[in-house]
Amino acid sequence: MIKSTIKGIGHYVPENVVTNDDLSKLMTTNDEWITERTGIKERHHRKNRNDSEETTAFLAFKASEKALKMANLTAKDIDYIIFATLSPDYYFPGSGVLLQEMLGCDTIGALDVRNQCSGFVYAMSVANAFIKSKMYKNILVVGAEVHSFGLDFSDAGRGVSVIFGDGAGAVILSASDKEEDGDILSVNMHSEGKYADELCTKFPGSKFGWSDRMRLEPESVTDAEIYPVMNGNFVFKHAVTRFPETMNEALESAGKTIDDLDMFIPHQANLRIAQFVQKKFNLPDEKVFNNIQKFGNTTAASIPIALSEAIEQGRIKKNDLVLLSAFGSGFTWGSVLFQY
């Protein structure tokens, strides 16, 4: 039986730290509101919003270099790239091909995944299937985002813009038949597209043009179309319902219980959501990893950044049972349960 084992992991964020106080100079907000409602104290934004070098693919490249080093592999050993992001460098092509070029990989396949906050969980599920089917041996799975260039930093956007941060996380998922290596034990993925408008960015989408209007005609585009919009309360309520469902599904399909779990890493959307779920499952603090306080919500990058930090800090050890779960725009949600 072929196992899908994590051989390497790494993360990277832009140097520039933006505190809640920094944001309060741009809009009517304050540290107390942001901390109380979300748990976030700071996030990383690239220095210049219009920087054309520190792009999503670049952040992914830096994280991938670390993951390759840990796996003791080179870019030539990678058979396939799966790149999850909602903030790609180009409208098309996806960022996967840019990463292939930056790393100097062979002309391997590069698949972009567009599942927002659940993007990394979806990407890992696909990578697991490719490995289990023996199609590929070493897959680079990335979640990366540059949110800072596309947020509304005026009062109108404060409900959304204080939440998001830039960053990237990368995992090398490799085929193994070694007894001592870990494995992905179960995955699940879900969607409910009727709620697409509850958390989305509309522009440039084919639904939002009309016959006498080209895609790029700035004067006819409204702020509500170019910036992300979120019905926060609505999303929150669905998140706290779907998280427990997908977690239970992942554990049950692997024949495990919540007591078997060594570490739970929720998508870092809001500390209150993570705490709600932790309480529901009665999980002790040492079995839950959160770092939203430092990075904000980095959507597809949040789980691999958290996983990378948890491993780096020794919070996850070899053979530990780890559950990754996410919920977000789409709506989409899902989980990956693995033995490290």
| Residues catalogued as catalytic | 117, 267, 297
274 binding ligand UT7? (CB under 6 A): no
Task: For residues 217 and 236, give the distance between their C-alpha atoms in angstroms, rounded to a whole number.
Answer: 34
Question: Do 268 and 239 meet the contact criterion of CB atoms below 8 Å apart?
Answer: no
Q: Which residue is nearest to ligand UT7 (CB)?
A: 232
Measured from the CB atom, the residue of 109 and 244 that comes closer to ligand UT7 is 244
Out of 273, 306, 316, 336, point to the residue binding ligand UT7 (CB under 6 A).
273
Cβ neighbours for 212, distance < 8 A, ≥ 6 positions apart: none
SS3 content of the chain, % helix, strand, coil (to 5): 40, 25, 35
Cβ neighbours for 81, distance < 8 A, ≥ 6 positions apart: 96, 99, 100, 105, 108, 109, 110, 111, 139, 140, 142
Which 77-116 residues touch ligand UT7, going by CB under 6 A? none
119-132 and 302-312 helices, crossing angle to 10° = 70
Out of 328, 330, 332, 338, point to the residue binding ligand UT7 (CB under 6 A).
328
CB of 200 to ligand UT7, least distance (A): 11
37 binding ligand UT7? (CB under 6 A): yes
Between the alpha carbon of residue 115 and those of residues 118, 175, 197, the distances in Å are 5, 25, 14
Choices 165-173, 229-237, 248-256, 258-266 (CB under 6 A): range interacting with ligand UT7: 229-237
Choices 28-36, 54-62, 76-84, 94-102 (CB under 6 A): range interacting with ligand UT7: 28-36
Out of 5, 29, 85, 186, point to the residue binding ligand UT7 (CB under 6 A).
29
Which 161-190 residues touch ligand UT7, going by CB under 6 A? 162
Amino acid identity at 55: T
Measured from the CB atom, the residue of 30 and 220 that comes closer to ligand UT7 is 30
Question: Do 189 and 332 meet the contact criterion of CB atoms below 8 Å apart?
Answer: yes
Residues that bind ligand UT7 (CB under 6 A): 29, 33-34, 37-38, 117, 158-159, 162, 232-233, 235-236, 239, 269-270, 273, 297, 328
